[in-house]
Structure 1
Amino acid sequence: MRNHLKTLRGERGWSQADLAERLDVTRQTVIALEKGRYDPSLPLAFRISRVFGLPIEQLFDPDED
């Protein structure tokens, strides 16, 4: 699953550590999410949605495989 977290985070001027703190996860989790190595759980996806103030559909794109 692709996501737009790195772009959205950059638009807000947040570091990976800033986003991790807002999401109550580790910086390593944010790195893995941004690189597409980790798909978030549903509760985490909803937290990400709330932090960015966007619907989940605008944050994540399903793989087209």
Structure 2
Amino acid sequence: MIKNRIKVLRAERDWTQADLADYVGISRQAVISIEKYKYTPSLDLAFSIAKAFDVDINEVFKQEDDMNE
């Protein structure tokens, strides 16, 4: 599963879901779906989201293993 920190990054910047959607050219519903893990963004969209926050993509998205260690 790909985890994300979009909600946290938005809160740090005082952005709404609509603000982020406008920055990256998607709908607010798409932002909601990504935040709730109902939709995994394409690589292009993931990079666009990271660019909107002005951070490395690894600060926004992280792959989590389903295996217990």
Alignment of 1:2-21 (within 5 A): 2-21=3-22
Give 1:29's aligned residue. Answer: 30
Q: Distance in 1 between matches of 2:60 and 2:20?
A: 14
1:36 positional shift: 1.1
Aligned position for 1:61: 62
Separation (CA, whole Å) in 1 of partners of 2:40 and 2:65: 15
Q: Secondary structure at the match of 1:18?
A: helix
Amino acid at match of 2:45: L
Q: CA-atom RMSD, angstroms?
A: 0.7
Gaps in structure 2 of 5+ consecutive residues:
none
Write the distance in 2 (CA, Å) between the matches of 1:58 and 1:45.
Answer: 11
The number of aligned residues is: 65
Task: Give the distance between the partners of 1:61 and 1:37, measured in 2 at CA.
Answer: 16
Aligned to 1:48, the other structure's residue is in SS state helix
- Structure number with larger C-alpha Rg: 2
TM-superposed CA distance for 1:63, in Å, is: 2.2
Q: 1: distance between equivalents of 2:50 and 2:17? A: 16
